[in-house]
């Protein structure tokens, strides 16, 4: 199992808000289960949360606790990385990026505190075991 660190609010949107594409400047040959890790820092764009709420809805409307919305340095969910494209039809896809296509998003509740790493990384065995118990 691998993990990917994503800044909030986009990590939340991936697990709870239907964000089915992650835009990256690099591709991977990996396909399969992928832990979604909320990074230490939020998106530095001060309008990121506003844009997400405008695009989606208030996270409370989805019944998700504020702890998940504000989670940092924690595994918050798992998805299946199905493909990496450059021409995804998803409204989340950005031009000029690789589109990591996600399916079957599932929350990890409670979230699992864990330090992240750049790139695609292998989580500690204890984290993977906890995810397997929960999901």
* pTM: predicted TM-score of the whole model, two decimal places: 0.88
pLDDT in tens, 62-106: 555 556 777 899 999 999 999 999 999 998 899 999 999 999 999
Structural domain boundaries enclosing 49: 2-134
Instruction: Give the H/E segment covering residue 11.
Output: helix 10-16
Q: DSSP 3-state assignment of 130?
A: helix
Supply the mean pLDDT for the chain: 88
pLDDT for the residue 54 = 54
Euclidean distance between the first and final Cα of the chain, in Å?
13
pLDDT for the residue 42 = 85
Report the C-alpha dihedral over residues 25, 103, 85, 93, rounded to 10 degrees: -60
Report the C-alpha dihedral over residues 123, 56, 110, 42, rounded to 10 degrees: 50
Give the model's confidence band at 37: pLDDT under 50 very low, under 70 low, under 90 confident, else very high: very high
- Cα gap 7→105, rounded to integer Å: 17
Parallel, antiparallel, or unpaired for β 2-6 and 32-38? parallel
- Cα gap 106→81, rounded to integer Å: 13
The enclosing domain of 87 has a CATH number of 2.30.130.30
Q: Compare 55 and 9 and report the one with higher pLDDT.
A: 9
Task: Phi first, then psi: give them for residue 24, nearest 5 degrees.
Answer: -135, 160
| CA separation, residue 129 to residues 68, 108, 125 (Å) | 20, 12, 6
pLDDT for the residue 85 = 97
User: Which of the 8 DSSP states describes residue 86?
Assistant: S
Give the model's confidence band at 40: pLDDT under 50 very low, under 70 low, under 90 confident, else very high: very high
Domain count, the chain: 1
């Amino acid at each position: 199992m691998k993990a990917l660190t994503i800044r909030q609010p986009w990590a939340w949107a991936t697990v709870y808000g239907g964000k089915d594409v992650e835009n990256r400047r690099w591709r991977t040959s990996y396909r399969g289960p992928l832990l979604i890790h909320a990074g230490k820092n939020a998106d530095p764009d001060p309008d990121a949360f506003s844009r997400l709420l405008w695009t989606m809805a208030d996270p409370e409307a989805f019944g998700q606790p504020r702890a998940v919305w504000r989670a940092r340095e924690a595994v918050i969910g798992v998805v299946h990385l199905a493909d990496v494209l450059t021409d995804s039809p998803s409204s989340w896809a950005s031009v000029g990026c690789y589109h990591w296509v996600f399916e079957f998003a599932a929350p990890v509740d409670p979230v699992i505190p864990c330090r992240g790493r750049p790139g695609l990384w292998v989580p500690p065995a204890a984290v993977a075991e906890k995810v397997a118990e929960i999901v």
